[in-house]
Structure 1
Amino acid sequence: MILVDADACPVIEEIIEVAGHYQIEVRLVRNFNHFTSRDYPPFVSITYVDDGLDSADYRIVALVKHDDIVITQDYGLASLLLKKHVTVLHQSGKLYSDANIDLLLEMRHISQQMRKSGLRTKGPKAFSQADRQHFKNQLKKTIRNQ
């Protein structure tokens, strides 16, 4: 199964396309304030959680199983999932690992401290078609390597 931290995920369509090709179930986990009545293919389900800090993260941790793939941009969630020996992929296509998670968490902490002190930091750039294709390629590679 592919679990998706779906509230702010820009590559949901790409995930569904790749999962459909490989016949893998997808579960989108999102807050109720991101409710959609959109119809998804039968292999896609949505789990809604209460609107609250980290509600979707806690649900993902509770749902995940050993052979699952999780897509998230949340470094804290990725850190928790790595301890459960789960494959975790960033929406950019970067694979989280024990080798890179500590540095990512440290960089996030430094950015938070800079923002608290009043400094402005850049947000992520808009996703391009090339970014989307790169993610799809990385997801396919991750699936094949499992």
Structure 2
Amino acid sequence: MTVRILVDADACPVKDEIYTVALRHQVAVVVVANSYLRIPEHKLISRKIVSDGFDAADDWIAEAAGPDAIVVTADIPLADRSLKAGARVISPSGKPFTDDSIGTAMATRSIMADRRVGVAGIGAGGPPPFSKADRSRFLSALDAAIVAAKRAQG
């Protein structure tokens, strides 16, 4: 099996960075989305458009994930499913999801969801704005994940 990157692309702010790192390492990228997204024309970069059904892109990625995959997503339940399939998982901010950290992330997500519902219509805010530091951290994390995945394959 060859290392590949599966991108949960609909709201991914680091697609260009993914292409840059992947091409440098000669790693295939599959951009998964609910609708058409432009991608660079390159033999290593492809798109998978899934139905616009709820979680259709997540389902496709989770089924395609495995030990040969690096999944890029901010979606914590998808990260959990991908880890269980044996994939390496990185958030767009560069934070790796691991077997040790995913339980805490899932619990925090649940608490925050309950908190948002409890404020009855008052916006509890979202994640902080995406920063240059996030972008830099992501580039380093993706590079490290690719190197580790290639090393694991022998």
What TM-score comes out, normalization by structure 1 length? 0.91
User: Residue 28 and residue 100 in structure 1: after superposition, are their counterparts in 2 closer, same or farther (change >3 A)?
Assistant: same
Gaps of 5+ in 2: 150-154
Distance 2:39 2:82 in 1: 29
Listed one character per residue, the Cα deviations across residues 8-60 of structure 1 (whole Å, up to 9, x for unaligned) are: 0000000000000000000000002xx23554322110000111211101111
Distance 2:141 2:34 in 1: 27
Distance 2:110 2:146 in 1: 31
Q: CA RMSD in A?
A: 1.4
Listed one character per residue, the Cα deviations across residues 44-77 of structure 1 (whole Å, up to 9, x for unaligned) are: 1000011121110111122223211010101101
Q: Which amino acid aligns with 1:127?
A: F
Once the two structures are superposed, the pairs formed by residues 1-146 of structure 1 within 5 Å of their partners are 1-32=4-35, 35-118=36-119, 120-146=123-149
What percent identity do the matched residue pairs reach? 38
Gaps of 5+ in 1: none
Distance 1:72 1:38 in 2: 17
How many residues are matched? 144
- Any runs of at least 4 consecutive aligned residues in structure 1 with deviations exceeding 4 A, and if so which? none
What TM-score comes out, normalization by structure 2 length? 0.87
Matched-pair contact (CA < 8 Å) for 2:7–2:29: yes
